A and B are shown apart, each in its own frame.
Chain A
C-alpha cells in the first residue's frame, strides 16, 4: 500500500460522479440519495456540511469513511481510490465520530478510547496488547477532551455529553489526518459545545487536521468552519466561505423558511436567526 501521508499535496478527498441510494424497503423511511456528486475537499481546512433533514449529509459522511460504498463514481482519499484500500488503511487516516453511540456492555471509557488504536495494529483480528505508545496517544486525547477523570467509569454510566467527548477522544486516538463528525455538538451543553469547537479548531491549526463536520447548528458552522457546503436533495447547492453560503435568499430556498442573517458582534461572521 502506497503511503501518501507526507508526500501528497492535493486535496484530502476528490469525489467524481458519486451516486448512492439506500435499497428501498417498506419500513425504511430514509430515502436520502446522493446524485452525481463531484467535488474536492481541501486538506487542512474545516469544512461544514449543511442542509435540511434528508439532504444526504450523513450519507456523504459515511461514504467518506468507507462505511458505505458508492453505487457509481469514485472517491479518492489523498489520491488513493477508497475502493482499493483496506478498512484499516482508511481508519488510520480517517476517523468518524458518529451521531450517537450506543453501548450495552460495561466497557470503561479508557477501554473505549483505546479501541481507537485498533487500525494501527496488524494481526489476527487485531489481537494485540496496547503498548506504552498506544497509552500515550490515548491519554493525550483524553486530556484534550477532558475525559481523563472519567477513565474508569463505565460507558453505560456517564452522561450523553461525556460519552460524546470520549468518542471524539477515541477518534483522535486513531491519529487521523481527516476527522469526520456527524452532529458533534447535538448532545452537548453550551460550555462543552464551545470546548469541542475550540478543540477542533486548535487541532486543525496545530496538526493541520482536516475536519469535516455535519451540523444543523448554522451559527457554530459559521464561526468555526473555513468552508461550508450546502446540500439539498442529494445535490451540492453551493460550496464557499460562510459569507457566501449563509445568505438569506440561499437559505430560504434550501430550508424553505424565512431566516434573518446579521453579523456576529465579535467575529463579524454571519449570524442566522429565525424570525419571530
Chain B
C-alpha cells in the first residue's frame, strides 16, 4: 500500500554506519562460503517508537493546526469575515471588552452567536467520532470498525428517537433525557456487535461489517416506524436531525456536550496503553498483564457515552471514525497514546472543514454535513475494503 510503504520509507533512517560485508582472506583461499556477519545493531535512538518528545511534537502540531482550521472556518459563510476582524473580536471577548451575549456590531453577533458555537460543535463531534473509531478498531481488531458502519450510531439514534417522540421527560432536573437514552441505545448496539465479533475464531473482518449492516437496517427500521407514526411536524424535524446536522447550538448546549465528551475521553485516554496491547489479541494481551475484561468494559462504556452524546446533539454523521484514524495511523503512529489525541484533533478539523463546505457550497442554503463526510469517506472505505493489505487476519 502506497501510504504504508511511504511511512516505512519516511521513518527508516539511512544505515550509513553498517559496515560493508567483506570476505576474509582465509575463506577466499579455502573457497568456503562464510556466513555474512549480521549488520551492526543500529543505535537505539534510530528506532521508531514513541518518545515523550515525539508525543509533544505531534500533539502540539495537531493542536496548532486545529486552531488555525477553526479560525479559518470562522471566516467562511454567507457573510465573509476577514481574519484580522475575527482575531480582533475574539481577543476582545477574551479581554472582556466585547460580550458574547449583547452585541451591537452585527459581524460580532454573527461570529460569536452563530458561527463560533457551530464550528466548536463540529470540532467536538468530529474529534469524538474519530476517537471512538480508534477505540472500536483496537477493541474489535478491525481497521474498518466505525461507530456509523457497525451500527452503534443508529443504536444511539434509536434511543434518541424514542426519547424525542415519546417525550421522555425531555429533561429531569435540567439534565436532558436525550443523551441518556442515546447512550443506552449505543451501549445495546455495542454489546450486540461485541457478542458477534467474539463468536469463535473463524469470523472475519467482513462478518463484522455484514453484521453491522444488518444491525443498521434493524435500527433504521425501528426509527422509520417511529417517524411514520409520529405527527408530521415532529417527524420532519427528526429527519433533518437524523441526516446529521450541526445547526443551532448555544453555549449552554456546548457546555453540556463538552461535559459528556470530557468524561468519555478521559476514560479512553487512561486505557491507551491497554488498547495497544489489545490489538495483539485478547489472549496475548492477557499474557502481557492486561486485565482484559475490565479494559473492555471501560472502553465500551466510554465509546457508548461518546457516541450517545454526539448522536443526540448532531444526529448521524458517518465515516469520520473510519478515515481519520486510518490516516493518522499511517502518517503518525499506531501507538494509542499518540493516536488517540492526534486523531481527536484531526477528526475535529475534518468535520469543521466538512461543515464549512456544507454551509457555504450552496450559500445561502445548506445541506447536511453527513452528505460531505459520506461523499469523502465512502470511497475511502471502498478503497480500504478492496485493498490487499486489509486482507490480513481474515
Is A152 in contact with B48, judged by CB distance below 8 angstroms? yes
Measured in the bound complex, the distance between the Cα atoms of B274 and A36 in whole Å is: 34
Is B270 in contact with A111, judged by CB distance below 8 angstroms? no
The segment out of A42-50, A126-134, A204-212, A227-235 that lies at the interface is A126-134
Is B284 in contact with A127, judged by CB distance below 8 angstroms? no
Write out the residue numbers on chain A whose beta carbons fall within 8 Å of the beta carbon of B27: none
1/0 contact string of A131-167 vs chain B (CB within 8 Å): 0000100010011001011011110110000000000
Q: CB within 8 Å of A: which residues of B?
A: 4, 7-8, 11-13, 15, 38-39, 41-42, 44, 46-52, 137-138, 141-143, 199-200, 202, 269-274, 276-277, 279-281, 283-284, 286-292, 295, 329-330, 334-335, 337, 389-390, 392-393
Write out the residue numbers on chain B whose beta carbons fall within 8 Å of the beta carbon of A98: 281, 283-284, 287
How many Cβ-Cβ contacts under 8 Å join chain A to chain B? 152
Measured in the bound complex, the distance between the Cα atoms of B289 and A110 in whole Å is: 19
Q: Verify if A54 is at the interface (C-beta below 8 Å from B).
A: no
CB of A137 to closest CB in B, whole Å: 11
Write out the residue numbers on chain A whose beta carbons fall within 8 Å of the beta carbon of B286: 65-67, 87
Interface centre among A94, A115, A153 (most CB of B within 10 A): A115
Is A110 in contact with B47, judged by CB distance below 8 angstroms? yes
Measured in the bound complex, the distance between the Cα atoms of B13 and A190 in whole Å is: 31
Measured in the bound complex, the distance between the Cα atoms of B286 and A62 in whole Å is: 10
Measured in the bound complex, the distance between the Cα atoms of B290 and A66 in whole Å is: 11
Contacts beyond the supplied A92-B289, A127-B337: 5 A-B pairs with Cβ under 8 Å: A87-B286, A98-B283, A106-B4, A151-B46, A152-B11
CB of B1 to closest CB in A, whole Å: 9
Chain A: interface size category: 35 or more
Measured in the bound complex, the distance between the Cα atoms of B137 and A115 in whole Å is: 19
Q: Verify if A5 is at the interface (C-beta below 8 Å from B).
A: no
Among A90, A114, A139, A152, contact of B289 (Cβ-Cβ < 8 Å): A90
Write out the residue numbers on chain A whose beta carbons fall within 8 Å of the beta carbon of B202: 27
A-B contacts, 29 listed (Cβ < 8 Å):
A25-B200, A27-B199, A28-B200, A66-B287, A87-B286, A87-B292, A88-B289, A98-B284, A101-B281, A102-B141, A102-B393, A105-B137, A106-B330, A107-B276, A108-B11, A110-B47, A114-B49, A124-B271, A125-B271, A125-B273, A126-B277, A127-B337, A139-B44, A152-B8, A152-B13, A153-B8, A153-B12, A154-B8, A157-B4
CB of A67 to closest CB in B, whole Å: 5
Write out the residue numbers on chain A whose beta carbons fall within 8 Å of the beta carbon of B270: 124-125, 127
Write out the residue numbers on chain B whose beta carbons fall within 8 Å of the beta carbon of A157: 4, 8
Is B335 in contact with A129, judged by CB distance below 8 angstroms? no
Given A125-B271, A127-B337, A128-B273, A111 and B291 contact (CB-CB distance below 8 Å): no
Write out the residue numbers on chain A whose beta carbons fall within 8 Å of the beta carbon of B329: 105-106
Is B47 in contact with A108, judged by CB distance below 8 angstroms? yes
1/0 contact string of A67-107 vs chain B (CB within 8 Å): 10000000000000000001110111011101001111111
Given A104-B393, A118-B277, A126 and B290 contact (CB-CB distance below 8 Å): yes
Q: Verify if A52 is at the interface (C-beta below 8 Å from B).
A: no
Among B41, B47, B281, B334, contact of A106 (Cβ-Cβ < 8 Å): B334
Is B42 in contact with A115, judged by CB distance below 8 angstroms? no
Write out the residue numbers on chain A whose beta carbons fall within 8 Å of the beta carbon of B290: 87, 118, 126
Q: Verify if A215 is at the interface (C-beta below 8 Å from B).
A: no
